[in-house]
Chains A and B, each alone.
Chain A
């Protein structure tokens, strides 16, 4: 390369969008996760908006405080208590995820692994709770096209929205397990960056975030 070409190259690389700088101040991996999260937010936003449309155009809507009353092992009806517990568990698993990121940036492998394990545990309990809830509502007679509470779209939206969220939790658990194994084997230590843990963390927090809105709009309102 002649001298002018080298100078030209240098000029491009030094410009804001020339490829030599990070205009968003993050690595491409992290930026791609953010872009994915935005697109996923659109998917869930569309689900919830459609649910809103169905709900306001239906003649009535079942009272969720009367539908979701099951709680395992206690033998009495407890409106919404089980869902509240699920919310609590997911918020806690988001918290332990944040601590795992915090520990991994301090290069504390044991602690990071411990908190990742707790996050996986929380997510697994959440999924099992959801299985219980699905089992219960299906046992009550709810399907995609009909349910005993009168409005067929009620159970259709329930299965679609919580099912889609559950699928995200499941994918998150797989990602978390892979990440935990990588931490254990010293993959990030060798690479010199624990950013991978942080990126999986972003995804997991997003799953928690979606649940906050599903919980609010589907169960509480």
Chain B
């Protein structure tokens, strides 16, 4: 628990970033981008926000590698489930 990990400066920086990319996610909607590009942009923004929260607010970035892996690797299963269901949904029922 070094002081640097819980530094106020870093938290303020992360907070400002979070707010900035949240606003970016909003103003992109009325721009009339093609659907897939808009969705890709929105999902990337969500992943960036999630990454910032997990890495800095939950300071997983500063934990031991074994902990980082034991938290992040199981999440692949969620992605696998989503991909499987969306694939199933778009190929068999339509």
Contacts and interface: CB of A to CB of B under 8 A. Distances in A.
A98 B74 contact: no
A212 B46 contact: yes
A221 B39 CA distance: 6
B15 to A, nearest CB: 4
Contacts of A212: 46, 49-50, 53
Contacts of B82: 45, 48-49, 52
A50 B53 contact: no
A97 B8 CA distance: 11
B11 A24 contact: no
A5 interface: no
Contacts, number: 124
A213 B50 contact: yes
Nearest to B92: A57
Given A49-B78, A101-B6, A220-B29, A26 B22 contact: no
A72 to B, nearest CB: 20
A56 B57 CA distance: 34
Interface residues of A, number: 48
Interface in A198-219: 201-202, 205-206, 208-209, 212-213, 215-217
Given A84-B26, A91-B18, A95-B15, A31 B6 contact: no
A173 to B, nearest CB: 18
Interface in A54-70: 56-57, 65
B13 to A, nearest CB: 11
8 contacts: A34-B67, A45-B81, A52-B82, A84-B22, A84-B26, A98-B15, A209-B54, A215-B46
Given A45-B82, A88-B22, A213-B46, 12 more contacts: A25-B67, A42-B74, A52-B82, A52-B86, A53-B88, A57-B93, A87-B22, A91-B15, A95-B11, A206-B58, A208-B53, A212-B53
